Structure 1
Amino acid sequence: MTPTTPTIPTTPMTPMTPTTPTTRRVAITGLGVVAPGGIGVKAYWEMLTAGRSATRTITHFDASPFRSRVAAECDFDPEAAGLSPQEIRRMDRAAQFAVVSAREALADSGIEADTYAPARIGVALGNAVGCTTSLEREYVVVSDGGRKWTVDHEYAVPELYRHFVPSSMVAELAWTAGAEGPAAMVSTGCTSGLDALGHAAELIREGSADLVVAGATEAPISPITSACFDAIHATTPRNDDPEHACRPFDRTRNGLVLGEGAATLVLEDLEHARRRGAHVYAEIAGFASRCNAHHMTGLKPDGREMAEAIDVALAQARIDPSEVDYVNAHGSSTKMNDRHETAAFKRSLGHHAYRTPVSSIKSMIGHSLGAIGGLEAAACALAIEHGVLPPTANLTEPDPECDLDYIPLHAREQRTDVVLSVGSGFGGFQTALVLARPERSGR
């Protein structure tokens, strides 16, 4: 099937001469979001700053057989979001999220058709579990509801190959952006979103691209995903009170809540963005990742690997730990993770950790696996833009072992120049991303 016409026409032009890589800085000039409780950046930010939780009893399928029956679902109508019948048929739900958020981000960036040569535009997308929704749906069909061990491929839809290959989502993103430059799918579990943004920023710094449409998407709320998380008791069994089920850093927390969604950020060379008069939300100033090489799901209590990622990201940004104004925590609402990153913050920020506000937006939008890093990065850029820090919903009984300034219940107004966002993923992955106001004092 022929892809839709790209948002940015691929008009041939002379590529920009790349700036010396060591001098290039990376600006965020466009944002797009599909999230639980809010489709579009405006609705998303209003929900976060209101401290409103979007978690509810699962409606995507009959979850009654499962241990955990709550999730943060997107009220997403692909037709109302502007997708054609052909696009809806062709794309998995996760790909639909990515394209819709990318269209909003590109429009927000104010990019003109001839601003960049197509070969100088790249894409990078984070995702953990691929086209889960479509693959599960089609397996049910070809296996006659799971009754046939030998499946009948003739019942499969023609788009099944697209669903099987996660890179098909990157292709959709490239078509949307008119990108003929570097294209990458980054899949590192729950740090995929942050890692995709780190990769995208490096493409600009090294001169491989002048603009990168980057972000993350995930639509994992399905029976197979629920079964996997049930098996390791990672999700909360607090089914009688979905709105308050996810409670990071609270003494009574007992597991994460699955989520879904997407966020896309338009990244550009800062100097070129300024020359074209673009609005700059923030600068991606530093990025680093580490792996604990320890356990698939276990975390060491000292937080050393996350702390090392934070240290390297801050060093790359040339930012002293005492300059960090806000930390967007991974905050998954599991006993182990919340203690682990509390220790990491103390290890990296020292005494300043006790003076630094911290919060977890997963308390409101759940944990969308590979997409969450993108959604959190968008929230961090908006925190810098508006001088408001989103709260940790449902934090009413602080865990004595999580003794930092975890913002409870209500948003906090505060000028913010430097934000640290961290992620932690199965397999021991640890990632830190530093966002900053480009014109901050001390730069």
Structure 2
Amino acid sequence: MLKRVVVTGLGVVTSLGCEVSEFWDSICAAKSGVSKIRRFDCSNFKVQFGGEVQNFELTEHMDLLEKDVRRLDRFVQFAMAAAQKAITDSGIDFASGDPYLHGVLVGSGIGGLNEIEQQHSILFDRGPTRVSPLMIPKLMVNAASGNISVRWKLKGPNSAVATACASATNAIGDAYRLIQHGQAKVMVTGGSEAAVTPMGLSGFARMQALSTRNDAPEAASRPFDVDRDGFVMAEGAGICVLEEYEHARSRGANIVAEVLGYGMSADGSHMTAPDPEGRGAARAMQGALNDAEISADSISYVNAHGTSTPLGDKAETMAIKSVYGNHSRTMPVSSTKSQLGHLLGASGGVEFVISSLAIRDQIAPPTINLDHPDEACDLDYVPNEARRMQIDRVMTNSFGFGGHNACLILGKV
């Protein structure tokens, strides 16, 4: 028999705060975390803003020496801080259980881009003998999972996922499966990304994927709005603790929500553009519903992928309509990327945290900057203000370059 899987700990690092309470208050207050980039000079860049995590120091979030921090790329630092918060929130004592049943699964779309850029400069400015011997273990995508495993001595399943912007959702879904099938009791899982760098920003800008609203950064991410002109790059991490239900109950854990279903698919049509009719996305959504063995009309709210791109928002709207039918006309759907920007491989982790909190507090977060809805995007997107409502079940969507589609369903316990 498959095991039940619940959420017992949440942690975030975002442009709207690094404490879950502060972060959630800002989400519910419809605040924006998008601003001018400060970490590097981008005055000659086409795009000069993003959802940047400002004034972040890992030593302020966990007990580490500065020399140890220097061994970690920024995306790993984000993951470590968010993991520390999620583990503390869960109240779990890893020392008291079987370490081979405690695992880690953290996704990232790009990994250590900061380290790649720094060492590339050193290579060409100072020569190959000056490249850091720490370069490889700092930049590899599995560095987040590996370092979390080492820090907390978690010896169970340990993996990493790189499926572009679906990475964190795939990671959480895969962790859910491991617990369901009895291969782990506890999984630390989610996603982390730190691609707001000169190369990252210029690369996405050259693809013409980004909004260019340099004069109004906070209004740049506007999912489902007729004036949307691309997504806003962001960085951070969203990590949760998933736990087998009876294990959580036996230790008196505070259960935030239950993971009910997981679906995934591929568009199989283009490396960067979504299927124009959202058929792959719809397949993943229906797969999650089938896995949960529930009907579409039992979903209270959908946390959309909603990146603020002309093609993506329309395709997702079509997918939701095809799966939910008449229920889509009254079901609230919102995109919190309107507030945070797009955290790429970490987005699904942060949105999983948001979805869990939506169930806990019975609040659907808003889609801000939705001033002039696109006629092709005609659902209830919870415009500009959070909404108190009954929320029993939430679907959260993530879709990535390469045609990756991943969906999770959470429910009240």
Counterpart residue number, 2:327: 352
Structure 2 CA distance for aligned equivalents of residues 399 and 430 of structure 1: 23
Q: Return the alpha-carbon distance in structure 2 between the equivalents of residues 23 and 257 of structure 1.
A: 39
| Aligned with residue 127 of structure 2, among 152, 170, 194 | 152
- Corresponding residue SS for 1:259: coil
Task: Give a deviation string over 1:16-45, Cα, whole Å, max 9, x none.
Answer: xxxxxx330110000111111211111110
Measure the CA separation in 2 of the matches of 1:177 and 1:254. Answer: 43
Alpha-carbon separation, structure 1, partners of 2:68 and 2:252: 33
Q: TM-score, normalised by structure 1?
A: 0.91
Partner of 2:378: 403
Give the secondary-structure state (helix, strand or coil) at the position aligned to 2:260: strand
Distance in 2 between residues matched to 1:169 and 1:268, nearest whole Å: 20
Equivalent residue number for residue 46 of structure 1:
25
Residue 133 of structure 1 is matched in structure 2 by: 114
**Alpha-carbon displacement from aligned partner over 1:224-261 (angstroms, at most 9, x marks no partner):** 11121112100011110011111111110000000000
1:247 aligns with 222
Q: Deviations over 1:77-109 (max 9, x none)?
A: 223223321221110111011111111111111
Greater displacement, 155-164 / 406-415: 155-164
Shift of the alpha carbon at 1:124?
0.1
Residue aligned with 1:95, SS? helix
Question: What does 1:213-228 correspond to in 2, within 5 Å?
Answer: 213-228=188-203
User: 1:177, 1:213 within 8 Å by CA — same for their partners in 2?
Assistant: no
Which residue number corresponds to residue 35 of structure 1?
14
TM-score by length of 2: 0.97
Identity across matched positions, percent: 38
The structure 1 segments of at least 4 consecutive aligned residues displaced by more than 3 Å after TM superposition are: none
- Partners of 1:102 and 1:176 within 8 A in 2: no
Q: 1:99 aligns with which of 37, 58, 80?
A: 80
Equivalent residue in structure 2 for 1:81, among 36, 58, 61: 61
The 1-side partners of 2:147 and 2:193 are apart by 14
Q: Aligned residue for 1:330? A: 305
Q: Which residue of 2 aligns with 1:65?
A: 44
Alpha-carbon distance in 1 for matches of 2:23, 2:156: 30
Measured after TM superposition, the shift of residue 192 of structure 1 is 0.1
Determine if contact 1:248/1:360 at 8 Å carries over to the other structure: yes
Structure 1: gaps spanning 5 or more residues: 1-21, 145-150, 439-443
Q: Which amino acid aligns with 2:262?
A: F
Paired with 2:298 and 2:96, the residues of 1 have a C-alpha distance of 35
Q: Which residue of 2 aligns with 1:119?
A: 100
Work out which of the residue numbers 330, 346, 369 in structure 1 matches 2:344.
369
Partner Cα separation in structure 2 for residue 115 and residue 288 of structure 1: 33
Alignment of 1:380-395 (within 5 A): 380-395=355-370
Alpha carbons of 1:290 and 1:113: their partners in 2 closer, same or farther (altered >3 Å)?
closer
1:330-360 deviation digits (Å, cap 9, x = unpaired):
0100000000000000000110011110111
Matches of 1:28 and 1:178, distance apart in 2: 21
Aligned to 1:273: 248
Contact 1:120 / 1:180 at 8 angstroms: preserved in 2?
A: yes
Output the CA distance in 2 between the equivalents of 1:198 and 1:253: 30
- The number of residue pairs the alignment matches comes to 411
Per-residue CA distance 1:31-82 (angstroms, 9 max, x = gap): 1111112111111101111110010111121112222111000121223223
Secondary structure in structure 2 of the residue aligned to 1:52: coil
Query: 1 CA distance for matches of 2:399 and 2:258?
Result: 22
Root-mean-square deviation (CA, aligned residues, Å) is 1.2
The offset of 1:115, in angstroms, is: 4.2
**1:10-25 equivalent positions in 2, closer than 5 A:** 22-25=1-4
CA distance in 1, matches of 2:190, 2:374: 33
SS at match of 1:23: coil
What letter is aligned with 1:64? S
Tell me how far apart the structure 1 counterparts of residues 254 and 316 of structure 2 sit (CA, whole Å): 33
Give how far 1:298 is off: 1.6
